[in-house]
Structure 1
Amino acid sequence: MHAEQKKEEPVAVQPPKSLDCGPKPSSVSNRDQKDQQLWRLASMQHELCLSGRFQGVVAESWTKLKTRVENATTSHERTLISFEIEQFASAFMYGNSQREAELREAERLDVERREAERREAERLEAKRREATEQLEVEAERLDAERALIKKKLSDTANLDTTKCQPVVSTDCMRELLMQRLRIVQEAFLRTNPPSKLQPIRELVAIGNEIRAASTSEKLQQAWQVLNAWQQRHLPQ
């Protein structure tokens, strides 16, 4: 009998390993040329990896380009690198017209997005500057108003009756007091007090006292009452 030949066991065919290409690189939001170039290279690496072409000469060329991007120090170098990146893309990426169209569209959308973000940032900055300028103008206006009120209060701090004629001295004093009362009330209201009802009632009472005064002595008393009210509610 012939010796039975030992049959060779069939070799199990291993299923091809799935490529671990990682997630698609996220687009960068800033306008730094280095970051944009690195993102472009990472995107191309991802596409080449998915198609199984990121190996050999392709991988070597890509690695050299990436090293140049990372080490470039001048804008001239980066301009040359941008040209070389396009050459790399033309040589290894754009063999498929559909893929080329997709990449071009992705780039176009990314450029549009970054341009929209730039315009929005400029709009917000202009709006912020306008608001700041308006606040400064308003602050200057309020300062001018406060200075004017302060000057009026200072100018009427003393009951100057030198311009009053003796015959109408009482009426003149009364008018001076009423002028000061109005100035004090205006200054008080501009302070935006949390509670103004009672102080205003007191001013109304002082005004009634001024109107009812028939002698210079009573007007002097009303003047003192008004000064006391001012010291309580309008401290310097």
Structure 2
Amino acid sequence: MKYKRILLKLSGESLMGEQSYGIDNARVLQYAEEIKAIQKLGIEVAIVVGGGNIFRGLSAEKSGMDRAQADYMGMLATVINAMALQNALETVGVYSRLLSAIKMEQICEPYVRRRAMRHLEKGRVVIFGAGTGNPYFTTDSAAALRAIEIKADVVLKGTRVDGIYTADPEKDPTATKFDTVTFEEVYNRQLNVMDMTAFTLCDENKLPIIVFDMNKENNLMKLMQGEAIGTLVK
């Protein structure tokens, strides 16, 4: 396998499937099966999931809500999604642990770096909930931070498009896809990969990012086997 330990970043919207809101259990189960397949090969898997399918702090701020309050509400939404993903993983027979940056002892463990790494070493999938635990930081930033803390080999950003393009492929039919791109090129071209805080964290810590289509069957496994899926940022 190409990687030993990965951090998989899933957007909240990816859990909606074809719905316009909420959680599509069939889609979440599909992700769980994909994760199970690579975990059986000995790959250590950590996951950060967003909350945009339930609540988005930035959108709430635009409607007049206090930004910090809105962001905390968004963090709670990520925990709901993380619980749904944990349930799906255990439905397919994968042991998992949900660690939250905000203490919620009745439903998950508090985030402790060494505990997270121990769970990974024992073969459990670790799901990080509640972002970084701080307002004004996105779940992209949480993904970059946790990946660095647990010494992941790569950040895999699962999206609904198959990589990074010169423009938004859903709006511009002439947009072309990058197979590989450097951090410097992303800065210079102002490409939309992750928010700048998250992206800079990865750049400074020499942590590669792969943007790929998580909804295409077996893409995750192909990445683990070294196939050129999506776009590699290095």
Could you tell me the TM-score, scaled by structure 1's length? 0.25
**Hey, which of these two has a bigger chunk of strand by percent?**
2
**Hey, which of these two has a bigger chunk of helix by percent?**
1
Could you tell me the TM-score, scaled by structure 2's length? 0.25
State the structure with more CA Rg.
1
